[in-house]
Each structure stands twice: as structure tokens, then as C-alpha cells.
Amino acid sequence: EVQLVQSGAEVKKPGESLKISCKGSGYSFTTYWIGWVRQMPGKGLEWMGIIYPGDSDTRYSPSFQGQVTISADKSISTAYLQWSSLKASDTAMYYCARHVSDYYYYMDVWGKGTTVTVSS
């Protein structure tokens, strides 16, 4: 079974750093893009960026460029989303999703999400 398993909920203070993870299984991790989607409380989905674990090629939404870092460790089939200095406005649910991008472009497998709460 193809799965993406995300790390657990986080509660942090403004200014702290954070790295959350997403572990893929049941498929060839290095041959699909994997990306991150933010959902702020009561709001819609926002695409943040993706990484191709095979060669670490990374693309960001202009809205998130410079605000977060996406990385991957293909040896353990895990992608990461990282902040160096959190803000209260980073409070949200973060989903990882496998991106299919051949003839069709869509996200076919999703993690259950990681809740990040940033509060003083």
C-alpha cells in the first residue's frame, strides 16, 4: 500500500525553528515529486512547494520562497519541511502529498497532516 506518514503535532514559540517530516512507503520514493500544502485554520489549501528526491530538485511557490525549506533524504524515503524562525502566522495544518507529473498533473496520495501551533 502506498502511504505517506507524517510526523506528529508540534507546539512551538515564535522565533523557534522546526522541521517536520513525511515518510513514503509502498512505492519508489525517488521517482515521484513530493510536496507540501498548507491549510490555515478554517481556510483553503495553499500549495507551498515540491522536491524530487531522486536529484533534490526543488520548486517553491512564490508565496513561500524564502519562508520555508523543503528537503529530502532518499536513503530513508523521507521529505522535510523546515522553518528557521517560526511566526504565529505559521500556525496551520501541513499536508505532504505525492505529485504525479507525467502526462497528467495531480496529487494522488496524501499524508494525514501535521498540525503546527506557534504561540507565545
Q: In the complex, which residues of this chain contact another protein (CB under 8 A)?
A: 35, 37, 44-47, 50, 59, 61-62, 95, 97, 99-101, 103-108, 110-113
User: Minimal distance in Å, beta carbon 74 to another protein?
Assistant: 22
Nearer to another protein, 44 or 75 (CB): 44
User: Minimal distance in Å, beta carbon 42 to another protein?
Assistant: 11
Nearer to another protein, 9 or 17 (CB): 9
Please report which helix (H) or strand (E) contains residue 9, including its range: none
Beta strands in 3-118 (DSSP E): 3-6, 10-12, 18-25, 33-39, 45-52, 57-60, 69-73, 78-83, 92-101, 105-110, 114-118
